[in-house]
Structures are given as structure tokens and as C-alpha cells.
Amino acid sequence: MMAGGLTDIPGIKVGVSSDIEAVTGVTVVLIEEGARAAVEVRGSASGTRETDLLRPGQLVEEIQSVVLAGGSAFGLDAASGVAGYLEEKGCGFPAGTYNVPIVPAAVLFDLFIGDGSIRPDVAMGRRACMAASEGPVEEGSVGAGTGATVGKIYGISRSVKAGQGSAAVRKGELIVAALVAVNAFGDIFDRQGNLLAGPRNPETGKMDLTTEVLGAMRTGGFSGNTTLGVVATNASFDSTALAKVCQLAHDGLARSIWPVHTMWDGDTIFALSKGDLTIDVNLVGLLAAEAMSTAVERAAMKATSLGGIPSVRDLGR
């Protein structure tokens, strides 16, 4: 059954901070008591922080937050605000008299929409923490999805507004949930394979298929993309098993975004284990793909027009 979102997993909070005028923002996933984690980067233009710690065999086994932000590499500053907030609460890896919060982060490129000189910073990261709750995840053009757009082969002015989406799948006691900020070079498709959001043809105004345009142009794409996601489960996994969950969750992106994982994207998915259920990792990974593909669709359908870029709803789709 599909319902809810990432906060359906007990112990996980989500908060956002959005600058609507500058069209950028931050989404913070808080796990103050800690969670095992992994990450998989499949795009070729990623911007990340502390992802090496998530490889199997590392000293630190749990993290306290995941930060998704706009602002390209500048937006990584927001993670420092999250780390400071968590330190004040006594959360983190014990190191002598200090607790060091472990805060992996990833950013997407939204500098070509709104005011690119204003980026997520320490203060914005902290505000997202203060807004975090176990309530329903905010969706649409908020948080890291504030400046998200898709279908950019004709340039940002002919793209379609996307945003942030979340979904959860339940199978008995098992919960697998996903959160995603969709800022893809490619297009978004629904579960039946129908085009939801793609580049708007400069002459007709109708949506084209990026793959067809790319084949006809025989030229490069458009820089300034990246889809960022987090999947979480109440099953108990170590980082090695969670790495497989990440891999399968990326299949959810491939079902709903095409093309995906290009040289112009920095597609990154984190996986979190916060629970004690003993479940087959393949089942969890397959459900993660289901939740992710649904979250991507919601990111498109919940978005609102910003920065002069129309949303799917405003285009009458």
C-alpha cells in the first residue's frame, strides 16, 4: 500500500527551509538517535559531503542527518548549520569530551533560476532543523525542491518546474519510504509511461521528449541538474546491505525519469536503516524503487510555478 512519506519511519524527522524569492532551499532529514546509512552516486556531476564515511568498513557506523540542498557546491554550507544544531543537542559520534554530528549532504544546481547569488547557508540549514517534525513531509516547490526544474535541453527558460516529493510503501510491519528533490536534465513520466513534464518546444510550446531532441541535435545537454533522494526502512541492515538498497532505489529513478544518470546530472540516493525487523534486502530494495518512482511523480504533480518556470499543474497536465 502506498501512502505517507519518509516520516512514516519512526525516529525520522524532516524539515525544510525555502527562499521563495531567491528560489532555492534546504531539506533536512534528522535522525537524532542515529541510523545506519549508505549512499550511491550515479550521476557524473555530483556535489557531496561526508559520503566516504558511508562506505562499508568505516569507523563511524551511524549518522544523525542527511542534508539535501540547492545552491550547487555553495549549498553544502547548509550542512554546517545542521551539524551545529545537532551538537547543541548532544547528538553525534563521541570523540573525547565532544560529540561530532555526522551529516552527509548532497546538492543540486539551481543557480540559473531565481537569484543565483543567494544560496543555502548555515542559517538556512539551522532553520530547516528547527522546522523538522515527524508530521507529513512538505511536498512541491519547497526545501531542496524549491529551485528544481526538469526537461532542460532547450535551456532553463523552456523547462518545467518540479520539486520535492515523498511516498511510503507498507507490507505488514515493513515500511519503506522515499523522499526526492527532482532537478533532472531529463523528463518525468508517470507509472503508465506517459510524459508528465518535459522540455517545452520554443515554437509550439508543447512538451517534447528529451531523448528525441537530443538525438536530432547531436550536441551536448544542459548543465545544472541533479536528482537527490533518501530512502529509509524500519528493517535492520548494515551499510553493505543498505548499499544494495541504494542501487535498487536508483531503478525507481530510471522508471520515472528519462534520460537519467547523465553526464549533466549528479544523481545521488542515500539509504537509512532505522528499525529492527529482519527482512530480505531484495524485497526492501524493490519496495524502495516503488516508493522512489512514486515520490518522483509527486514531485512533479505537487510543484508550483516559480521563477518564471511553469509547473505541470499550470500547464494543464
Give domain status of residue 308, yes or no: no
Give domain status of residue 316, yes or no: no
Question: For residue 189, which of 207, 216, 167, 201 has the smallest C-alpha distance?
Answer: 207
Give domain status of residue 309, yes or no: no
Which residue range(s) make up the domain with 76?
A: 6-301
Residues 238-278: tens digit of each pLDDT: 999 999 999 999 999 999 999 999 999 999 999 999 999 99
Give domain status of residue 317, yes or no: no
Question: At 10, which CATH number?
Answer: 3.60.70.12
Give domain status of residue 167, yes or no: yes
Question: For residue 30, which of 53, 9, 54 has the smallest C-alpha distance?
Answer: 9
Kindly list the distances between the CA atom of residue 16 and the CA atoms of 94, 154, 217, in Å, as whole numbers in the listed order.
Answer: 27, 30, 38
Report residue 220's pLDDT band, with 50, 70 and 90 as the boundaries. Answer: low
Average pLDDT over residues 122-135: 98
Under DSSP, the state recorded for 302 is S
Question: What is the pairing mode between strands 164-171 and 160-161?
Answer: unpaired
Q: Burial of 315 by CB count in 10 Å (0-12 exposed, 13-18 middle, 19+ buried)?
A: middle
CA atoms of 23 and 21, how far apart (whole Å): 5
Number of domains in the chain: 1
The tally of CA atoms less than 13 A away on the side-chain side of residue 14 is 28
Average pLDDT, the chain: 95
* Length in residues, the chain: 317
Give domain status of residue 306, yes or no: no
Residue 221 has a pLDDT of 73
CA atoms of 181 and 302, how far apart (whole Å): 12
Average pLDDT over residues 109-136: 97
Give the sign of the dihedral formed by CA 283, CA 248, CA 231, CA 253.
negative
Report residue 222's pLDDT band, with 50, 70 and 90 as the boundaries. Answer: confident
Question: Which DSSP string do the residues of 21-89 spell out, in sequence order?
Answer: TTTEEEEEEEEEEEEEEEEEE-SSS--EES-GGGSTT-S---EEEEEEESSGGGGGHHHHHHHHHHHHT
Give domain status of residue 314, yes or no: no
Residues 45-78: tens digit of each pLDDT: 999 999 999 998 899 999 999 999 999 999 999 9
Report residue 218's pLDDT band, with 50, 70 and 90 as the boundaries. Answer: low
Residue 56 has a pLDDT of 87
Question: What is the pairing mode between strands 105-107 and 48-49?
Answer: antiparallel
Q: Is the pLDDT at 185 greater than 90, yes or no? A: yes
Q: Is the pLDDT at 290 greater than 80, yes or no? A: yes
CA-based diameter of the chain, in Å? 64
Give domain status of residue 143, yes or no: yes
Question: For residue 180, which of 91, 292, 280 has the smallest C-alpha distance?
Answer: 292
- Strand arrangement of the beta sheet that strand 257-258 belongs to: 195-197, 187-189, 257-258
Q: And the C-alpha cell for 290?
A: 516503488
Residue 1 has a pLDDT of 45
Q: What percent of the chain has pLDDT over 70?
A: 98
Residue 223 has a pLDDT of 81
